[in-house]
Structure 1
Amino acid sequence: MTDERAFALDRYIAATDRAIADGAALEELLAVFAPDAVVRIGPAPVRGSAALREMYGRLVASHAESRHFCTTTMLPDGRERTEWVCAARMADGSLVTMAGVEHAIVDADGRIVDLHNEFSRPPG
C-alpha cells in the first residue's frame, strides 16, 4: 500500500504504528529512509540501512501496540517538524506514554536523510 501523505514525518510515524501492529510492515517503515540516513533518537546517532533495520527491529519487538498523534509543518529552511505524542503497550504488557519534537531533512525522493528527535516526555 502506498501512503500519499505530503510529509515524510507523517509517513514515518504512521509506518511505525503499522510495523508495531504487524512486524511484516517493518520494510514499509525502513523505506521512508534514504539508504545512508542518520537517525538521532537515543544517545548515539544510527546511520545506514543495516543499523536502522537493527534499531527499528528492536523497537518493533519491544512493543505490542502503539498509537501516535502528531502535527507536522514545513519550516522556512525546508526541514519538516512534527510535535508528537504516543501511548503504547509494551511486549511485557506494561503501558507507556511519551512525547517529543522531531525534525527531518528530506531528499528529492521524499525520503528522510536526517531525523532528530527530542523527547519532551521520555518513555515511561
Structure 2
Amino acid sequence: MTTQTTETVADRYITLVDRAVHEPQALQELGSVFAPGATVQFGDLPPVTGLSDITEFYRNFYSEMADSKHVWTTTVLDDGTLEVRFIAAWRTTDGQLASQGAVEHVTVDASGLITQLRVLGPDTEIAG
C-alpha cells in the first residue's frame, strides 16, 4: 500500500463536489471523473447507477448546503483500489454546522474514470 502524492481521479472528484456547492453548474463536469455506467453508494443508501442519476443524486445531496469543504488523503491499495480517508465539514442553508469523517473505496477503469465509488460508514474500521 502506498500513499498517493499526485492527483488521482478521486482527488479531482472531491475537488469538484466541493466546488458544486457554490457552482451548481460544476456538476455538469461529473462526466470527466465518472464512467457512464458508474455506481455511487453512500453507506446504507441504495446505490445510484449511471451518470444522469449520479448527477441528480449530487444535485439533491448538495441542495441544502451553503458551504462544504473536504480534507482527505488518497492511498492506492495493492489491488489498485483508491482508498480515500476524508473529513467533511459543511454549513446548511439555514446556518447549521455539521461534519463527518469516513472512507471511500474507488475503482477506476482503463480510461481513468470512476466505475464504482462507495462511501463506507463512519463506523467502518479499515486497517492501516
Query: Do these two structures clear the TM 0.5 threshold for a shared fold by scoring above it?
Result: yes
Task: Supply the distance in 2 between the matched residues of 1:26 and 1:78 (Cα, whole angstroms).
Answer: 26
Equivalent-residue separation in structure 2 for 1:29 and 1:65 (angstroms)? 19
The residue that corresponds to 2:68 in the other structure is: 66
Amino acid at match of 2:7: A
Structure 1 segments of 4+ aligned residues over 3 angstroms from their partners: none
Question: What TM-score do the two structures reach when normalised by structure 1?
Answer: 0.87
Deviation (angstroms), 1:17 = 0.4
- Secondary structure, in 3 states, of the residue corresponding to 2:63? helix
Aligned-partner Cα distance in 2 for 1:30–1:20: 17
Q: Give the unaligned 5+ runs of structure 1.
A: none
Equivalences for residues 11-90 of structure 1 within 5 A: 11-42=12-43, 43-90=45-92
Determine if contact 2:20/2:27 at 8 Å carries over to the other structure. yes
Q: Does 1:106 align with 2:75?
A: no
1:52 aligned counterpart, secondary structure: helix
Cα shift readout 1:35-54 (whole Å, capped 9, x = no counterpart): 00011114211000121121
Q: Once superposed, what is the RMSD of the aligned Cα atoms? A: 1.4
- Alpha-carbon distance in 1 for matches of 2:114, 2:93: 28
Deviations 1:90-117 (A, max 9, x none): 1222111011000010112211000111
Residues 40-77 of structure 1, C-alpha deviations (whole Å, 9 max, x = no match): 11421100012112101102212111010000010000
SS at match of 2:57: helix
Secondary structure of the structure 2 residue equivalent to 1:120: coil
TM-score (normalizing by structure 2): 0.85
**1:98 touches 1:119 (CA, 8 Å); kept in 2?**
no
How many residues align? The count is: 117
Indicate which of 93, 96, 105 corresponds to 1:94: 96
Kindly, what percent of the aligned residue pairs are identical? 39
